[in-house]
Amino acid sequence: MDTENLISTLIKQHRELQKNLGLVLDLSLKPDYDAAEILQMLATFKNNLFEHLKSENDIFYVDLLKKMKAKNLDTAKTELFIKEMDNIAQAVKYFLNSYAEASVIGQKIAEFRQALPDIIKTLNLRIESEESGVYAYWAAL
């Protein structure tokens, strides 16, 4: 990935992830919902999420810590932040694994509808934290 355009690429990925989950929410709230269609959109979200996490974890956070260390900056808070972001990613992955089959979505649609807004809020928290925090900090380095 072009590190010069890294932040703009990551932000574009954030918008796509938010759009994906918005579509999942819309599909799940239909009275005549189609569990297979929900699963298909979740699969799209999952693929986009994993691509995004790879970019962040393998490129962005690695380079951020390198830049900080090169300037003799304390990385402890940033490393803690990265762990917190990973915890959020794990919660989203747990949700995805819990609803990995259309039959499970169909059988547990009420639970799914209740859990999905929390996952959306959790994802949005991560996105807002990154965009107003470490992404802005990256530009200052």
pLDDT at 95: 97
Report pLDDT digits (tens) over 77-114: 999 999 999 999 999 999 999 999 999 999 999 999 99
Q: How far apart are the first and last CA of the chain?
A: 19
Report the C-alpha gap between 91 and 93 in whole angstroms.
5
Report the C-alpha gap between 108 and 98 in whole angstroms.
10
99: three-class secondary structure by DSSP = coil
Q: How many CB atoms lie within 10 A of CB 43?
A: 13
Tokens of 45: 């979200």
Mean pLDDT of 123-128: 94
Report the C-alpha gap between 41 and 118 in whole angstroms.
18
Q: What pTM value is reported for the model?
A: 0.93
pLDDT at 141: 85
pLDDT at 131 over 90: yes
Report the C-alpha gap between 131 and 136 in whole angstroms.
6
